[in-house]
Amino acid sequence: MAIFGYWFVPDNTPNVNRQFVQLALKKPGFSVESLKIPKDQPAQNQSIFTTLLYGKPDAYQYIPILNYSISGDSVKVELYHEKNELPSYEQYALSQLIDSTRNISKLNGNQLLQEIEKNNITSFHFWLGTDRFGRDMLSRVIIGTRISLSIGFISILISVIIGIFLGALAGYFGGKIDDLIMWFINVMWSVPTLLMVIALTMVIGKGFWQIFIAVGLTMWVEVARIVRGQILSIKEKEFVEAGKVLGFSHFRIIFKHILPNVFSPVIVVSAANFASAILIEAGLSFLGIGVQPPVPSWGTMIKNHYGYMLVGLPYLPFIPGIAIMLTVLAFIIIGNSLRDALDTRENQ
């Protein structure tokens, strides 16, 4: 869903930002007809892979309507309105809607209606309703998956690289190097993760890549502690002593002979940290210092709509909240399963 979302979501515009102000806060299952009017400068053709990554700009302007009819050489439409509002109408020339290469003078009223219905009338079905800007909630939840998963992957990659490097140095060399690195680890451990991320985002700025770096730089501590503890026990093994006797370099002994034996607990911790990274990103977006609008983010969606819980629209914050809950639960289950599968003592 995260990778191929733009290929199948109802709204595949960049950042899922097709807005219908008059359709704001519609409940799940809402449907409406819309008039398609070609733009003066239609969107340029782009490859399917560009669409996959960034979405596709609309080539049409969409106007929600209730009814339409032919009036002379124009189409008269009743714009969408609520039942307690007065109706309003607009007219659009047939030349704006029907391809200019067609000879519309030879078409009668019924044929013109059929032509308009075939090419210029489309229906929108909002399975999860719309947000306060009239955007499709289902599309934004699906594309918002990209933010959470990418934050998880990149931040865990950064934390694993830093944690393995510092943990390996501390565990292998010991002495003053170990004391210095452990002092730094304890200092970082004492600072609340969310507070540290907020401080880093204030320093390096708000945005997509800044969140990657900020979350990654705060999640390496646990990895470093585990790697250090594992190496402290492994470096006393016979094969490490044999490597030293044979004259192997410290770099080769650490990265080729010791680290392959400590990857199992690192993988387990990384799966748990993945879930934590998703929660941290959602919290930062909720506070307004995470990914910035109009990029769809589950935390931002909760922030924009949590006030509607008191006015009879609790599903607006609940939908992204449930998405966060299910994703975090999935990675916790993965972490527990990896722990059981990689536990050699239990397997024996």
Number of domains in the chain: 2
Q: How many secondary structure helices (H) and strands (E) does the chain include? A: 15, 5
**122-165 tens-digit pLDDT:** 999 999 999 999 999 999 999 999 988 988 899 899 999 999 99
Q: Are residues 169 and 34 part of one domain? A: no
Q: Does position 266 have pLDDT exceeding 70, yes or no?
A: yes
Give pTM, 2 decimals.
Answer: 0.86
User: Which CATH number goes with the domain that contains 276?
Assistant: 1.10.3720.10
Lowest-confidence pick of 117-131, 239-253, 298-312, 333-347: 333-347
Residues of the chain with pLDDT > 90, as a percent, come to: 35
Q: What is the dihedral of CA 47, 52, 58, 59, to 10 degrees?
A: 20
Does residue 58 sit within a domain?
Answer: yes
Q: Are residues 257 and 120 part of one domain? A: no
Does residue 16 sit within a domain?
Answer: no
Token reading at 229: 């503890």
Does residue 14 sit within a domain?
Answer: no
Q: Determine the average pLDDT of the residues in 97-108.
A: 59
Domain termination site, one of 126, 149, 165: 126
First to last CA, the chain: 38
**320-339 tens-digit pLDDT:** 999 999 999 998 898 888 87
Query: Do 198 and 287 meet the contact criterion of CB atoms below 8 Å apart?
Result: yes
- Max distance between CA atoms of the chain, in angstroms, equals 96
Does residue 9 sit within a domain?
Answer: no
Question: Where is 204: in which H helix or E strand?
Answer: helix 193-204
Q: Does position 100 have pLDDT exceeding 60, yes or no?
A: no
Does residue 21 sit within a domain?
Answer: no
Does residue 230 sit within a domain?
Answer: yes
Q: Are residues 148 and 61 part of one domain? A: no
Which alpha helices (DSSP H) does 63-190 contain, by range? 94-97, 109-119, 137-173, 175-190
Q: Are residues 180 and 76 part of one domain? A: no
Q: Are residues 333 and 224 part of one domain? A: yes
Q: Does position 43 have pLDDT exceeding 70, yes or no?
A: no
Q: Are residues 209 and 330 part of one domain? A: yes
111 CB-near residues (< 8 Å, 6+ apart): none
Q: Give the pLDDT confidence score for residue 101 in this predicted structure.
A: 45
Lowest-confidence pick of 92-101, 192-201, 291-300, 335-344: 92-101
**15-33 tens-digit pLDDT:** 999 999 999 999 999 999 9
**273-286 tens-digit pLDDT:** 888 888 888 888 88
Q: Are residues 143 and 224 part of one domain? A: yes
Q: Are residues 184 and 41 part of one domain? A: no
User: In which domain, by residue range, is 183 found?
Assistant: 138-347
Q: Determine the average pLDDT of the residues in 230-236.
A: 87
Does residue 18 sit within a domain?
Answer: no
Q: Determine the average pLDDT of the residues in 287-297.
A: 85
Does residue 8 sit within a domain?
Answer: no
Q: Give the pLDDT confidence score for residue 108 in this predicted structure.
A: 65
Q: Are residues 242 and 157 part of one domain? A: yes
Q: Determine the average pLDDT of the residues in 194-200.
A: 82
Kindly report the average pLDDT of the chain as a whole number.
86
Q: Are residues 146 and 102 part of one domain? A: no
Q: Are residues 235 and 148 part of one domain? A: yes
Q: Are residues 262 and 180 part of one domain? A: yes
Q: Give the pLDDT confidence score for residue 326 in this predicted structure.
A: 94
